[in-house]
Structure 1
Amino acid sequence: MYYIYFVYVTILASLILYESYNKNQPRWWAIMVLFAPVTTPWFIFKSRKESGVILFMIFLSTFSAVAIGEFFLYSNYMEKNKHSHLPPVTQQMIRLSEELKQSTTRLDHALIKLENLSKVESRIHEIKKTIEFIGHLRDIMTENQRAIQQLVKYTSDYKSFFDRKDLDWVFNIQQFYHNRNVTQHYKSLQKYLDSFEDLLKYTYVNFYNITELKSKEHFRNYDEYYLRYRRDVNSHNRFNVKRIDFQNSFLEKYPDIKPYLPGERQTETFKLWE
């Protein structure tokens, strides 16, 4: 805190001291600037008269930049330490909920990207890119599930403490992630990814037989993969709508947990890949 400010005023006072020597002005000017840098313009014009305008503009721009920089540093410091007065158990719960919130947001953004990838024309290099991205998305899902399990376990481990402190919002977060609408959403998402990946892999391996030779056998197999994929897409879209409705109603009932749940969710229904 204030590191930029102290360095800045020290340099500024040193420059005023140098100016005082050159212009044969009082040395206490530098001390005044050191403790009250806003007095710098007065000393500039006292020493340089009209020619001090350029120096004044330089001072004004640099002083403004330092003030803005210190404001952002202070804001970040306050944000990081806003929970420092809370007991360590509560601070850890807040950290876990924040990590889970960030993990869920990453998953939602990845699903939006997958939706965009699935809209592109089915070219073989695009199919490969989508298959690779599904693998990456699975890693994000694993991380997200691990974060959920960690938060739920922590809530259970310190249940007596949270009960004693009447921290109902902790149990409300746990209740949210235990709700059937949320758990079913994750299960349907897993099934959707499995069937989509299977369809893409089959299409990628047999791309020439399907698009060029138009093999009846490969078309039949493709249709089977596609029908299963289509069923899982429609199923997941239904569960996704239920999950969204549940979260909205849950936040209306428990608005105190809103800061601990992702604000932006993957809300659009998945379109069928063609």
Structure 2
Amino acid sequence: MYYIYFSYVAIIASLMLYECYHKNQPKWWALIVLFAPVTTPYFIFKSRKKSGVILFMVFLLTFSAVAGAEFFLYSNYMEKNKYSHLPPVTQQMLHLCEELKISTITLDNALGELENLSKVESRINEIRTTIEFIDQLRLIMIENQDDINRLSAYVSDYESFFNRKEFEWVFNIQKFYTNRTVIQHYKSLQKYLDNFVDLLKYTHVNFYNITEYKSSQHLKNYDQYYLRYRRAVDAHNRFNVKRMNFQNSILKKYPEIKPYLPGERQTDTFRLWE
């Protein structure tokens, strides 16, 4: 860090030294600029009077750019090393928490997008798009579940270490993700997606028999798929409410784990696809 700043100050001091020689000014001006570059405008105007405005603007722009660059680099450095003072086991735990938090937020965002797709009027192209999106969503769910399993296994593997350090918050995070309510919510989501895809695929394959020809057999089959889908939606919405209530209660009970959990989870109830 500060490589840009020190190089910049050295250049400014060198230019000031050149200015002192050229304008027959005291050479110690350059030394002051070297240790206090903010004094540069003073010496610019002292040497060049009103004609120093352009040089002052150049200095102001370049100094601001250098300061901004150094702030950006420093922020990145602090972000990368924010856990460097902690033991390796704790660092890895926090890293797993970050990964799980990100994948959970990604999952919630994808569920929100699915909700928007579900509102689209049933057209054959939109049905195909929704099916493909659910395939992607399932991959996100698998990744999220893998992150949960990794974190839970890690806490169990280093249970004695965390107990010795009295890191109760670690076990509370594990308690949240492995709670029966959260697991039921996850399973209900899987069942909802399975039934939704079954309905969409049947509708996609038999689209014209259902929408135009009004085939009684196809409509009857459609009703059966739709009934299973509707039951899955209702069940998932119930478990979603339970999961939200549980998250609110555990955060109220253990506020110290709030930084390690996603902020606002997917809270909207799924609407029925028409």
User: TM-score, normalized by length of structure 2?
Assistant: 0.94
Pairs within 5 Å for 1:61-76: 61-76=61-76
1:164-189 per-position Cα deviation (integer Å, ceiling 9, x unaligned):
11111111111111111100000000
Q: CA deviation at 1:221?
A: 1.1
Matched, 1:170 2:170: yes
Pairs within 5 Å for 1:75-90: 75-90=75-90
Pairs within 5 Å for 1:20-59: 20-59=20-59
1:79-120 per-position Cα deviation (integer Å, ceiling 9, x unaligned):
332221111101111110111011100000000001011111
Distance, in Å, in 2 between the alignment partners of 1:80 and 1:66 is 21
Q: In the alignment, residue 122 of structure 1 is paired with which amino acid?
A: S
Pairs within 5 Å for 1:117-266: 117-266=117-266
Distance, in Å, in 2 between the alignment partners of 1:210 and 1:4 is 68
Distance, in Å, in 2 between the alignment partners of 1:21 and 1:71 is 34
Which segments of 5 or more consecutive residues in structure 1 lack a partner in the other structure? none
- Would the alpha carbon gap of residues 202 and 22 (structure 1) be closer, same or farther in structure 2, given more than 3 Å must change? farther
1:27-74 per-position Cα deviation (integer Å, ceiling 9, x unaligned):
443343232210110121122210112221232233233323323332
* Residue in 1 that maps onto 2:101: 101
Distance, in Å, in 2 between the alignment partners of 1:116 and 1:19 is 65
2:117 is paired with a residue of what secondary structure?
A: helix
- Would the alpha carbon gap of residues 221 and 18 (structure 1) be closer, same or farther in structure 2, given more than 3 Å must change? farther
Distance, in Å, in 2 between the alignment partners of 1:264 and 1:69 is 33
Q: CA deviation at 1:192?
A: 0.5
Distance, in Å, in 2 between the alignment partners of 1:153 and 1:231 is 34
* Residue in 2 that maps onto 1:12: 12
Q: Percent identity?
A: 76
- Would the alpha carbon gap of residues 7 and 207 (structure 1) be closer, same or farther in structure 2, given more than 3 Å must change? farther
Distance, in Å, in 2 between the alignment partners of 1:224 and 1:7 is 74
Q: CA deviation at 1:244?
A: 0.5
Q: In the alignment, residue 172 of structure 1 is paired with which amino acid?
A: N
How many residue pairs end up in the alignment?
A: 274
Distance, in Å, in 2 between the alignment partners of 1:250 and 1:256 is 10
Which segments of 5 or more consecutive residues in structure 2 lack a partner in the other structure? none
1:270 is paired with a residue of what secondary structure?
A: coil
